[in-house]
Structure 1
């Protein structure tokens, strides 16, 4: 991936009337942040501010995707990151930024080093606004309580009451102007563009209540609602900050992961000197010196040195891993013993560590069916609520009520029907669920993965690397020729297959041949000393009538007799318990493996799986899943090899371990780290619990509005009570989502 350089054309201005950017990064030319990739074309990531609900997400994605040539636009509400891809290089990236601004939001190129500062600033501002509103509400109550008490005993004179109203106004109006700014700005930006968002009725309710209270105070009336204005803003800001805090908690997961990345690296210059540079300055092809105790800064290949590394924070592998020349390593691993020279193969933001962080973000906010339901509800919300408020005011006026009463009841309708509960119903559950899974080492790649995982009734496992540790040991090594092992290892080092890795460990550090090619489901082939060589399945290598039930690989060089390598493997520590637990919950596990029938049968017998197939090609695995689908089953596929990628893509939902081949991780919906197969059971239980919580939240939000709206229209609640009810609904939805975390503690 390369970064395109900006041209010298002047940057577009900001004619939308939004406040100027808060930092220099906001004014950066977006053309300097355009990325080019062979597969996806051109892409740009923007930091969008002001988008908070499903309606905002739908409006931005739809508006940007409508630009000619744009192929995809996806906004992550959790991080505020908008990813836009397009193929036509004639599109000006500044037009994309301008479209977001025209929609009523602030946008700037996404710079990870500055994005967090912007987000933290927003959180601090919300806290300050909330503190101001709370301070005002408490002080206004000192004057409101005597006024309300006087309604029952009539002991307050008109002059005293009016003075109390004026004092309350002096506190409430500046408070509303400041603490209400997050809502007023959002509503105004939307209205300027001829649109309405969920902050429009909120702002309208606050302004109407404030205006009506001022009018009542001027005319010496008995009723003013300055206390309701302050309390309304206080409760609204509580809900807004809760939403911000939930998203901040989700962002922390990605930040914790990226904290494993080194800040600086020692780059080896052509003249042999080493200089310390920021990791972001390392480019593919650079040589980096890694001393004992340093974290590996970027993905790459060991060029010099021998050492051991701790990969536990990346893969869950607790034992140190030996490193030598030719081995590929990933950013985040800790170098333990020797000095290494690393040849960088990727930039820091393209590393394995950065990719995991992106997977975390992708899983937190993606469009599941639940989000689409919320989108539709949000689309209908504003016109329906405005119509209900207008109808309420007109009806009360026709019934002969005072204009003050009609406006108050309309305000109550606007406030009590605020869709905060609906807006939080899905995101709150997604954030808590993804956070719980992340702590268990499970990464979500698809927003609807949990939704689909909750519906499965069939589970298909690969054997090697899934039911087993995927770290087989070469057996009978003493009877194998050292020359044959060394030659076979030249091909084995070019593969990530567990058997190839075992052969590499047995042979020791060394290099791989450059012309090696891996054939899914067959093996690896290449040229050794000018002769064609293959390492893989017996039939592919040319061995006829191989009847052994052992796990084995064959190696052959053109013109020489094939050499047989046998391997032993062990089950994952909790494989038996996990399979039994899945069966106890009504699932039917099966094994679909490319390994020998004998090895598959032994694994099936040990784990208690009755149905299994061995020696399957990738296409046969996919065909089995097609057959199960035709029978009406919804299958979860758990696989790790390159030959599992087609089956993972075919399955209703799929999971791959973190040690899986890149193609398998790309095809899977979830990725789990570590050695525990129980992560699969954990993911299923979280998915089912998340579905239950989402449906509970939807039903509560619907029931709340079904009851609250008529009550407000009948004039049975004041704006003050409406504010408490609305905020309480948001808190209830959030607390219900947080039960996912308490479920885990109970289960443990």
Structure 2
């Protein structure tokens, strides 16, 4: 206990006193804080108190009563395996020690499988094995045990509320406003102090009394401004020192305090060496650099932040009685019907129940051309309704939407520990002892060996502390990663792994799957080809379409799409695995497999193997008619393969289809090396063989049925429909019908790698040039501050070049969609 007793609470840091103080335990402001303190002691987590830094503006909150807690039940989702997921925002988060404490408290629970706190967004992602019946019995809330799991965190004073991106935006704006205020104060002080300094410098016969007056006036202006402007750096420095480590703000804080303290000492004793101007101007330039860094990071994350804001639009819910009401998207019940007006952004995921319109889905797919939607089509939060009002049946809201999944992937991509990030972090950790040793050596060398007054030697040491701050090095890699992720996101390409960019840059071989990758995976009816083996007529097509509309089979849907004017027939019966039948006026009609319809199973028009999937139509005892289908190539497949080859990549095609079909697709796409009849195991074996040959393989395959091959590759990319984004095993997922995002991702990865290397080189060159100059006494603290801030701005500006679309090798114009059947001889 301190000699004078406890004046602030040992747990929350608040003052002891006020209402209820008589009943408060010694050393605590209330019984709740005492209980929280004992809880941490009992769990062996008391190191938290030594590591944390309590921000006066962001104190720990008092443990809340049960009735004051938000309802977690409506925000819990449970998957088929019984694992519950909850996304929360942590209020009262101070520093990395808070992150450590929260994660330790949660992972200590046996049912918790994952607990991760994002310091930047303050998002807590929590997963646990739900025990619904027990939870309801214990809490009566039906929240699948969320309250029980969160109790330790709530007990120590953190407030957990449902994740709301708007709160994060307000917090970021608050921090930037604080930096702007500090800049304004220090800038005002700098201008006024310089007036007195210029008078001293050019005062000529100014006597010591007048000089001391100028110094005291400078101190009167500078010291309050320094105390106000130094807070962002001092808080971070104190946090690091309490944790037994040093960060970049430690030498900055030390340098400003040394310059200010030495100047005040000189002024008090009437000495000539006062550098208030240098101290306050140093702080002014440091704050400019910190603010520019914050703004640059904000711009780099603009794509993800824009997506977050889109989820906050109001939703108009149609009630059963026909009335409407506006609700936040996250509280709209699943199954409700929402109205989306023309020009309104959709706030939920769901199916179109009524209406036909055009949809701007560029934020999701990267495609700028509006897509047509009608009843039964799926729409997603964040997309824009362009043409006409529609009604949407809700099937996902809040954290369950595709928009939320994309933002989570962005966070994963930004938080990863890529090789260059780890290198920069190691260098940044090692710099502290070296920098302080250099500063001490500079001070002792110039004072003892160089014969300079201790005041001037101290200023040289301060300049060394400032100029060696590795801000540029710390920013060199993460800013590039964030900008690269944001650029790809705007193009409809999502990074699911933080090291994907590095591995994309290393790829030298591209292996493509056929169905759903080179082709669209949507079969279409081939052109009519009369002849032996079942040539069809328009009459046959109308009859087949009348049956096909009753089935969801892909081939039946292709027949129905080929004859939209056909009328559905009454009395159609579906035979699972075989086809459709209808008791027609001239005898039974069948549409389905060759075995079901009595057609030759494997014979084509010329007696050879059929080059694609088929359906047969038979009227009564007549001869069967064959409908042949082919899968269309992606419109830019050949152009993309040509662009990959132009980049020096070896391109192969692996497919499980028959050799003649694979050969036709390979020929149409311009691929020379191909293999047909490949099982998933065969594909993995081929990738292993390429790896043993020293190749680094980029596998491009369908995200659902090529999972083993995607996992076996050095890096993997998958085309996926929006609903598959979170399911695919690939490192990178792209949307849309074009294959060009593969080339774009490779181009962005290569350019990001060049920018990272350039940034590291710039940071190294900066230190190689400036550190010797500082040690030689040729750099003042003011010049050191300007150069350090400039180096950070240069690194950030260099990284922002990646946001421009220049640099990707242009693709040849996309060709019209080609079917494998049309490419076949």
Which range, TM-score by smaller chain? 0.7 to 0.9
User: In the alignment, which residue of structure 1 is the partner of 2:552?
Assistant: 492
User: In the alignment, which residue of structure 2 is the partner of 1:206?
Assistant: 256
User: In the alignment, which residue of structure 1 is the partner of 2:177?
Assistant: 124
**Higher alpha-carbon deviation: 185-194 or 216-225:** 185-194
Contact map agreement 1:100 1:107 (CA 8 A) in 2: no
> 1: distance between equivalents of 2:703 and 2:624?
24
User: In the alignment, which residue of structure 1 is the partner of 2:802?
Assistant: 740
Contact map agreement 1:235 1:727 (CA 8 A) in 2: yes
Change (3 A) 1:425 1:82: farther
Q: Secondary structure at the match of 2:506?
A: coil
The question of 1:321 aligning with 2:372 is answered: yes
User: In the alignment, which residue of structure 2 is the partner of 1:93?
Assistant: 150
> 2: distance between equivalents of 1:331 and 1:537?
44
Contact map agreement 1:549 1:599 (CA 8 A) in 2: no
**Higher alpha-carbon deviation: 560-569 or 416-425:** 560-569
Contact map agreement 1:311 1:321 (CA 8 A) in 2: no
> 2: distance between equivalents of 1:702 and 1:91?
51
User: In the alignment, which residue of structure 1 is the partner of 2:235?
Assistant: 185
Could you list the per-position Cα deviations for residues 297-356 of structure 1 after superposition, in whole angstroms to 9, with x for gaps in the alignment? 322234x4352442542332736434234x443334455677655332212331122322
Deviation at 1:246? 2.1
> 1: distance between equivalents of 2:751 and 2:157?
36
Match of 1:550 among 608, 611, 621: 611
Match of 1:463 among 514, 524, 534: 514
5+ long unaligned stretches in structure 2 = 1-30, 38-48, 131-144, 529-535, 569-575, 582-589, 811-825
Q: Secondary structure at the match of 2:191?
A: helix
Any residues of structure 2 matched to 1:256-271 within 5 Å, and which? 256-258=306-308, 263-271=313-321
> 1: distance between equivalents of 2:57 and 2:209?
46
Change (3 A) 1:724 1:548: same
Deviation at 1:367? 2.1
Contact map agreement 2:595 2:601 (CA 8 A) in 1: yes
Larger radius of gyration: 2
User: In the alignment, which residue of structure 1 is the partner of 2:731?
Assistant: 669
The question of 1:136 aligning with 2:208 is answered: no
Change (3 A) 1:192 1:336: closer
Contact map agreement 1:295 1:335 (CA 8 A) in 2: yes
Could you list the per-position Cα deviations for residues 639-663 of structure 1 after superposition, in whole angstroms to 9, with x for gaps in the alignment? 2352223322222112223536617
TM-score, reference length from structure 2: 0.74
Any residues of structure 2 matched to 1:431-442 within 5 Å, and which? 431-442=482-493
Larger RCO: Structure 1 or Structure 2 (Cα < 8 Å, ≥ 6 residues apart)? 1
Deviation at 1:416? 1.3
Contact map agreement 1:41 1:85 (CA 8 A) in 2: yes
Change (3 A) 1:677 1:160: farther
5+ long unaligned stretches in structure 1 = 1-8, 512-523
Contact map agreement 2:99 2:119 (CA 8 A) in 1: no
Contact map agreement 2:234 2:253 (CA 8 A) in 1: yes
User: In the alignment, which residue of structure 1 is the partner of 2:354?
Assistant: 305
> 2: distance between equivalents of 1:107 and 1:225?
47
User: In the alignment, which residue of structure 2 is the partner of 1:370?
Assistant: 420
User: In the alignment, which residue of structure 2 is the partner of 1:18?
Assistant: 55
Deviation at 1:244? 1.1
Could you list the per-position Cα deviations for residues 372-399 of structure 1 after superposition, in whole angstroms to 9, with x for gaps in the alignment? 2222223323343334334444455543
> 2: distance between equivalents of 1:97 and 1:398?
56
Match of 1:159 among 203, 209, 216: 209
**Higher alpha-carbon deviation: 583-592 or 278-287:** 278-287
Match of 1:606 among 659, 663, 668: 668
**Higher alpha-carbon deviation: 260-269 or 171-180:** 260-269
User: In the alignment, which residue of structure 2 is the partner of 1:5?
Assistant: none
**Higher alpha-carbon deviation: 333-342 or 385-394:** 333-342
Any residues of structure 2 matched to 1:320-719 within 5 Å, and which? 320-325=371-376, 327-335=377-385, 341-399=391-449, 401-475=452-526, 476=528, 478=538, 492=552, 502=558, 505-506=561-562, 545=602, 548-552=609-613, 565-640=627-702, 642-659=704-721, 662=724, 666-719=728-781
Q: Secondary structure at the match of 1:551?
A: coil
**Higher alpha-carbon deviation: 608-617 or 68-77:** 68-77
Q: Secondary structure at the match of 1:723?
A: helix
> 2: distance between equivalents of 1:361 and 1:29?
27
Change (3 A) 1:706 1:47: farther
Change (3 A) 1:312 1:341: closer
TM-score, reference length from structure 1: 0.81
Deviation at 1:233? 1.3
> 2: distance between equivalents of 1:667 and 1:208?
55
> 1: distance between equivalents of 2:181 and 2:236?
18
**Higher alpha-carbon deviation: 60-69 or 281-290:** 60-69
> 1: distance between equivalents of 2:805 and 2:742?
17
Could you list the per-position Cα deviations for residues 246-283 of structure 1 after superposition, in whole angstroms to 9, with x for gaps in the alignment? 22123321243355558233334445544333322212
> 2: distance between equivalents of 1:184 and 1:455?
42
Change (3 A) 1:49 1:202: farther
> Across the two proteins, how many residue pairs are aligned to each other?
704
